[in-house]
């Protein structure tokens, strides 16, 4: 009887998750999400403008990708298409901010970018077939491009 109780206790603990943990589990077991480092990534199959792309990520419990390191930049580089990242200067011209509100520190602009053509380029995207450290272009936010969502769990215990 004692052993049965212990076993029941073990399973109870193992299978009670918070909603946030269930979202992580879903991404872990979904073919749509790819894990790299501490994050999961979703690569769109469609093309949308920047705001619609961001909304799609939010609907998936994530946001547009934020490039925090050279490793992440390199990992994201294998793209043969224009692809939105979570970076814009729409609020104040020339002041680039990530979708989580953090300022731009490590940068991977193409040569000559950002150039704010016609005063109207406020959203950043990977350019196709770019060099490793020179890959981003500022383009018009209403342009159509693919996009990448990133989800970083704040509770690493269940997927380590
Ligand atoms: Ca990131
Ligand atoms: Ca701009
Ligand atoms: Ca540009």
Q: How many CB atoms lie within 10 A of CB 82?
A: 17
Alpha carbon of 116 to ligand 3 centroid (Å) = 5
Number of domains the chain is built from: 1
pLDDT > 90: what percent of the chain? 64
Residue 110 has pLDDT above 80, yes or no: yes
Alpha carbon of 2 to ligand 3 centroid (Å) = 69
Collect residues with CB below 5 Å from ion ligand 3.
113, 115, 121, 137-138
What is the CATH classification number for the domain harbouring 106?
3.10.100.10
Has residue 158 been placed in a domain? no
Has residue 10 been placed in a domain? no
Q: Which ligand is nearest to the CA of 86?
A: 1
Rounded to whole angstroms, what are the CA distances from 131 to 79, 80, 85?
11, 12, 16
Alpha carbon of 33 to ligand 3 centroid (Å) = 29
Q: Which ligand is nearest to the CA of 120?
A: 2
Has residue 123 been placed in a domain? yes
Token duo for residue 103:
């300022």
pLDDT in tens, 12-28: 555 677 787 888 888 87
**Cα Rg of the chain, angstroms:** 19
Domain span at residue 141 reads 33-153
Rounded to whole angstroms, what are the CA distances from 80 to 26, 53, 113?
28, 18, 19
User: Which residues on adjacent β-strands are paired with residue 124?
Assistant: 138
Has residue 11 been placed in a domain? no
Has residue 97 been placed in a domain? yes
Token duo for residue 85:
């990242």
Has residue 127 been placed in a domain? yes
């Amino acid at each position: 009887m004692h052993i049965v109780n212990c076993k029941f206790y073990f399973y109870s603990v193992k299978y009670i998750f918070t909603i946030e943990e269930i979202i992580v589990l879903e991404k872990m077991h979904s073919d749509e999400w790819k894990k790299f480092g501490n994050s999961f990534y979703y690569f769109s199959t469609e093309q949308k403008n920047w705001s619609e792309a961001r909304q799609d990520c939010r609907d998936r419990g994530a946001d547009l990708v934020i490039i925090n390191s050279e490793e992440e930049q390199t990992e994201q580089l294998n793209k043969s298409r224009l692809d939105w990242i979570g970076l814009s200067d729409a609020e104040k011209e020339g002041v680039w901010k990530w979708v989580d509100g953090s300022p731009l520190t490590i940068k991977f602009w193409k040569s000559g970018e950002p150039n704010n053509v016609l005063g109207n380029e406020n959203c950043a995207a990977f350019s196709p077939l770019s060099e490793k450290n020179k890959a981003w272009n500022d383009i018009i936010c209403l342009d159509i491009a693919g996009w990448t969502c990133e989800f970083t769990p704040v509770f690493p215990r269940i997927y380590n």
